[in-house]
Amino acid sequence: MENELIAKPWGHEYCAYRNEHVAVWVMEISRDAQTSLHAHPRKSTAFVVLRGMIEMHLLRGTPIVMRPLDKINVFRGRFHRQRARTDCVALLEIEAPDIKDDIVRLEDDYGRTGQPIEMPTAPLPAGALVLSEPVPFNSVFAERELILFTRGNLSLNRTMLQGVFVALRGGFENGLLAPGEAIDGASLLRLAYRFSLRDDTLLLWVR
C-alpha cells in the first residue's frame, strides 16, 4: 500500500508515512459522504483536520464538529465515523500500530459491513503528501505546513503554541505522548518545560 491510492466510496486515502511504530494516512472525503461506523480492536488512531469541516460520530453522544487543526485521539475498540460537512475535506489519520486490516464495521452506507479492507487501485496523484526522513523535513499540503523534527531539533518557544503535534517515535520519558498520539501545541510546550523527551523522539508538527 506504499505510494498507492485506495479508492473508497466516500473518497480516497493513501499512506504518506510509516515507520516501525505508526502509519500516517491522508483521507480525503467528499461532501456529505461518511466513513463506516467502525472500530479497531488492536490499534489506536489520531485524527488531525487539515482542510474543511467534519463531524466525528462516536457510538453515543452528540457528533463532534472538527475544523482545521482540530485533533482527536480515538483509542482502540472505540467506534467512530467521520462525515464531511464541506467540500475538499482532508485529514490525517495516524494509526498505531500499523495494522491496516484491523477493522470491525458496525454500520456502513455502502454495504461493506463484514467486508475486508479495500486494496490500492491507482498510483498516487501529483501533489500527494509524502513525508520522509531524514529530518528536519517540511512540506505544504491542503493549506497546512507539515514539519518533521527530532528531539535535537526541538526549540522551545512560543511558535509551538500554534498547531498540533503528533508523536511518530519516542515521546516523553515518563510514558506520556506515546507514538501515534496527537497533542495541541500549548499542551506540548507546557509538558516539555517539565518533562524530558526521549532521545529517539520524532514529532510531526502540523500548523
Domain ranges of the chain: 4-123, 137-206
CB-count exposure of residue 84 (10 Å: 0-12, 13-18, 19+): buried
Selection from 106, 117, 108 nearest residue 25 by Cα? 117
pLDDT at position 153: 86
Give the angle 36-23-64 at the CA atoms, nearest 5°: 40
pLDDT at position 135: 92
**Contact by Cβ (8 Å): 46, 154:** no
CA 37 from chain centre, in angstroms, equals 17
pLDDT tens, residue order, the chain (207 aa): 678 999 999 999 999 999 999 999 999 999 999 999 999 999 999 999 999 999 999 999 999 999 999 999 999 999 999 999 999 999 999 999 999 999 999 999 999 998 889 999 899 999 999 999 999 999 999 999 999 999 988 887 888 889 999 999 999 999 999 999 999 999 999 999 999 999 999 999 999
Cis bond upstream, residue 120 (ω within 30): no
pLDDT at position 116: 87
Q: Where are the alpha helices (DSSP H) in the chain?
A: 185-194
**Contact by Cβ (8 Å): 65, 55:** yes
Give the position of cell 472525503: 29
| 3-class DSSP state of 22 | coil
* Topology of the domain comprising 4-123: Jelly Rolls (2.60.120)
Selection from 90, 73, 91, 82 nearest residue 109 by Cα? 82
CA 136 from chain centre, in angstroms, equals 20
